[in-house]
Amino acid sequence: MWFNTGRKMRVTVFGSSHGLGVGMTMEGIPPGTSIDLEEIKKALERRKPQSSDISTGRKEDDSFEILSGIKGNITDGSPITVFIRNKDIRSGDYGNLKFTPRPGHADYPAMVKYKEGYDERGGSFFSGRMTAPLVICGAICYELLKREGITIGSHIYSIEKIKDKAFDPVTLTKEQLSLLNREFFPLVDKGKEKEMKELIKSVKEDKDSLGGIIECGVTGLSPGLGSPRFMGLDSLIGAVMFSIPGVKGVEFGSGFRGTAFRGSRNNDQYRIKEGRVVALKNNAGGVLGGLSTGMPLLFRVAFKPVASIGREQKTVNLKTMKETVIRVEGRHDPCIVPRAASVVEAACAICLYDEMRYEGLL
């Protein structure tokens, strides 16, 4: 359960949703680096469930303890280990899940694989709660990237069929991203917020759930960052995004839509602008051959609708091997897309930091 490119960064996420807590151990941050713990708190705050009408009722204050690696606010060069104790656990809610996998959840393959080791309550270590330590790790990486002029931000590209305005792949700015990555409901077109929130509310009442797409952008990358082939920027980012619970698709630049373009349209031709090479378009999404092109890095991440819904669904009891029905009564978000923005940004920061460290650029 580690992010380990076999290089600079080594991150192990541990713990589980209904155990003692969740945490992570990371290596690769040089000694003597100052870390602003407030930034970590802010990042965790964005990931937390929001107002109860559009989010889960579970309350976690997500206060973390730094067990190792940071003294005061300075890294000492040893692994950084951070732990968040679980507090608001209502295990009773999950009593009926012991042998009945929730449709759409990791329950079924996990029950087969881990047997008694799998804690059906809240999905054990498959829980979305595991993204809290990921956000901590990402916040640390992002702080260090920011000092190099790199900015990461994302917005809710869509919830169900309601679409935000897409990023402009050429003119996307650091300023735009910096504003977005502070927001709890990040949108390019703020006008969509009401409509989206109302949809979420109504779907919640309807005991159903929603999916959506996060679009993430990065500015400030010089051309040529990345390693070719299996360790390309897109491979790294792709791998980590698919490790976020609920992600079913990742695309860069024109992505799937671009498969219907011809080369003459999709290719980003080059120009000189103020003495620098620029592309007139950015269908590549800022990455070619696994290397950054110097244009904004742009990718979209597809989140399926949340699996846990209050409606009756057909399932089976794996012990009796009889068909049955289930209603997932736990406190769940009807739509995790708004909260996912912080997770996507964190995961992206880890990849970029690892690559820059690996290349000796940081």
Taking CB under 8 A as the criterion, which residues in 165-194 touch a copy of itself? none
Angle subtended at Cα 227 by Cα 293 and Cα 26, rounded to the nearest 5 degrees = 110
> Is residue 104 at the binding interface for a copy of itself, with CB under 8 A as the rule?
yes
Nearer to a copy of itself, 53 or 65 (CB): 65
Tell me if 140 sits within 8 A of 35, measured CB to CB.
Answer: yes
Among 126, 142, 185, 353, binds a copy of itself (CB under 8 A): 126
Q: Residue 7 Cβ, how far from a copy of itself at the closest point, in Å? A: 6
- Paired strand residues for 225: none
Smallest separation (angstroms) from a copy of itself to the CB of 145: 16
Angle, vertex CA 120, rays to CA 58 and CA 57, nearest 5 = 10
Could you give the string, one character per residue 241-280, with x where binding to a copy of itself holds by CB under 8 A and - elsewhere? xxx-x-xxxxxxxxxx-xxxxxxxxxxxxxxx--x-x-xx
Residues pairing with 155 in the sheet:
215
**Token pair listed for 83:** 């732990």
The pair of structure tokens assigned to 96 is 């009926």
* Span near a copy of itself by CB under 8 A; candidates 50-58, 87-95, 106-114, 171-179: 106-114
Binding letters toward a copy of itself, positions 276-315, x by CB under 8 A: -x-xx--xxx--xxxxxxx-----x-xxxxxxxx-x-xxx
Single out the residue of 195, 194, 299 nearest to residue 253, CA to CA. 299
Interface of this chain with a copy of itself, residues 319 to 348, rule: CB under 8 A: 321-323
Closest CA to 300 of 248, 263, 262, 357: 248
| 94, 119, 199, 212 from 339: Cα distances, Å | 23, 24, 16, 11
Minimum distance from CB of 118 to a copy of itself (Å)? Answer: 7
| Given 138, 153, 220, 232, the residue binding a copy of itself (CB under 8 A) | 232
- Rule CB under 8 A: is residue 201 a binding residue for a copy of itself? no
Residue 127 C-beta: closest distance to a copy of itself, Å? 10
